[in-house]
Amino acid sequence: MDEGAFLCQKFQEVIHALETEVPAQCLGQSDPREQWVTWASPEGGWRVLNTDGAAKGNPGTARGGGVIRGDTGEWIIGFS
């Protein structure tokens, strides 16, 4: 898959996620369930940027960070 097609596919996944109705358990309206999340390696030669953040209040204190990993899961660089 070429770079342009890969980026288009990822963009479509983001748009689909934004258009999908939020499950009731995410809104605190039903029984919350634990869900394991795992990291999946990208195709050979690609790198993955994983990020996360949180804020306390709006406006309020906020923090974020991330890590770039290679196609075998090796840590390349991180930030916070």
Gap between the Cα atoms of 7 and 67, Å rounded = 19
Q: What was the pLDDT predicted at 46? A: 92
Q: What was the pLDDT predicted at 45? A: 87
Task: Per-residue pLDDT tens, the chain, 80 aa: give them.
Answer: 677 788 878 877 777 777 766 665 555 555 567 777 788 888 888 999 999 998 888 888 899 999 999 998 899 999 99
Gap between the Cα atoms of 42 and 52, Å rounded = 19
Q: What was the pLDDT predicted at 1? A: 65
* DSSP code of residue 25: G
Mark out the alpha helices in the chain (DSSP H runs): 3-19
Beta bridge partners of 28: none
pTM for this model (two decimals): 0.50
